[in-house]
Structure 1
Amino acid sequence: MLKLIERLGPIEASQATDTLTLPYELRIRGRLKAMSDAGRELGLFLDRGPVLRDGEGLRAESGEIVRIRAAVEPVVTARVAAGLPLARLAYHLGNRHVQLALGEDERGGYVRFPPDHVLEELAELLGAILERHEAPFDPEPGAYNQPGHAHAHAHAHAHAHHHDTEHSHEHEHSHLHGHGHSHAH
């Protein structure tokens, strides 16, 4: 078994000795046994967290490089007019905390997601035309999954105080919490 132990980020196809085609649900795993596209037994021994992206290279203990490919799988592609309608569609679907692929082709911009009747109904309510088909699903990594990302969260808390002296007052205050994240590659 070829043990894949290191993420290399995006690579050219010519750099790899083999490819591994996986659906999205398996590209989210750090530990996995699979067969390469050439029929070789592979084992993934990677850090958990980052999704394996289409075109990403993985280095084996032996030094060989395998390139990840996103499998063709059932998806829904929602299309709506560019500009505010497309932004509104992406916002409302993204607000459901589901994985979304955003893209553009000769027919314009689109939002793609796994089949889900609730999301499909929402997209249609927002004026989208839906295409149910099979295509690679490679969702956006998200702002918080970028290398070397650091962010702060602001939290507002309102407190009401009531006293026996028949008066009350309210006040608000904010807290900034810094969270630094470093991702080894």
Structure 2
Amino acid sequence: MIRATRIIRRDALSGGEIVDRVVLDHGDRHRRRVAMRGAGGLGFLLDLPEPTVLEDGDALVLQDGRLVWVEAAPERLLEIRAGSDHALKRLIWHIGNRHIAAEIGPDAVWIAHDHVLAEMVRGLGGTAESVERPFRPEGGAYSGDHGHDHPHGGHHHHHAAG
């Protein structure tokens, strides 16, 4: 089975032969090693050195140099809105306090659909509507390279993937 061992991030993608695409939800875009099948039928093994979040628009590089496009699949989400910037910031704080993955836009926040969180948002004066769209949450304070080792002035430790 052909392997994909590298990622070209969407911002660095400039040319190359795109031969297929994989359509993945948020959970399936955090991978290291898994057999995949593209929408066009191409089977391959994703075989990365460490767990990595695949972003919408990235390309997986196959051993022969061909590319497989990564597309974020639509998912059932909650779209959260508030009557003012201050109220939205307050809702974002409550969501963050629960360590919930969130995609933050200028006027709305999207989280995975959860009826308990929807009720919390409504109880705090916001709106929470069910929508279907790709989910592209923020990486988080500790997401960086999703796990890496490096020296810190005389000591060494590992940052776990978060």
- The answer, yes or no, to whether TM exceeds 0.5 is yes
The answer to which of 12-21 and 133-142 deviates more is: 12-21
The whole-number CA distance in structure 1 between the counterparts of 2:157 and 2:84 is 35
Give, in angstroms, the shift of residue 47 of structure 1: 3.4
Larger Rg: 1
Once residues 105 and 14 of structure 2 are traced to their aligned partners in structure 1, the CA distance between those partners, rounded to angstroms, is: 22
Equivalent residues of 2:10, 2:58 under 8 A apart:
yes
CA distance in 2, matches of 1:5, 1:98: 30
Q: State the partner residue of 1:88.
A: 90
Q: 1:16 to 1:145 in 2, by over 3 A?
A: farther
User: What letter corresponds to residue 30 of structure 2 in structure 1?
Assistant: I
| Residues 67-76 or 122-131, more deviating | 122-131
1:95-106 maps to which residues of 2 (within 5 A)? Answer: 95-104=97-106
* Kept after mapping to 2: 8 A contact 1:73/1:136: yes
Counterparts of 2:63 and 2:7, CA distance in 1: 12
Per-residue deviation, 1:25: 1.6
CA-based RMSD:
2.8
Q: Name the counterpart of 1:125.
A: 123
Match 2:53 to one of 27, 32, 51? 51
| Runs of at least 5 residues in structure 2 that lack an aligned partner in the other structure | none
Q: Which residue of 2 is the match for residue 8 of structure 1?
A: 8
* Residue 38 to residue 131, structure 1, CA distance change in 2 (3 Å): same
One-letter code aligned to 2:142: Y
One-letter amino acid of the counterpart of residue 56, structure 1: D
Question: Aligned residues: percent identity?
Answer: 32
Contact (CA 8 Å) 1:102, 1:111: kept in 2 or not? Answer: yes
Q: SS at 2:99's partner residue? A: coil
Q: May I ask how many residue pairs the two structures share in their alignment?
A: 153
> When the two structures are superposed, what TM-score results if normalisation uses the length of structure 1?
0.71
1:16 and 1:22 map into 2 onto residues whose CA distance is 20
- Match of 1:58, as an amino acid? L
CA contact (8 A) 1:16 1:67 kept: no
Could you tell me whether the CA contact under 8 Å between 1:34 and 1:42 is conserved in 2? yes
Using the TM superposition, give the Cα deviation of residue 146 of structure 1 relative to its aligned residue in structure 2, in angstroms: 2.8
Determine the C-alpha separation between the residues in 1 that align with 2:156 and 2:118: 37
Change (3 A) 1:115 1:8: same
Is the Cα contact below 8 Å between 1:13 and 1:67 reproduced in 2?
Answer: no
- In the alignment, structure 1 segments of 5+ residues that lack a partner are 153-176
Mapped contact 2:16–2:66 kept (Cα < 8 A): no
CA distance in 1, matches of 2:50, 2:86: 36
Find 1:138's aligned residue among 106, 111, 136.
136
> C-alpha displacement at 1:179, in angstroms?
6.2
CA contact (8 A) 2:57 2:70 kept: yes
Of 46-55 and 119-128, deviating more is 46-55
Q: 1:117 to 1:47 in 2, by over 3 A?
A: farther
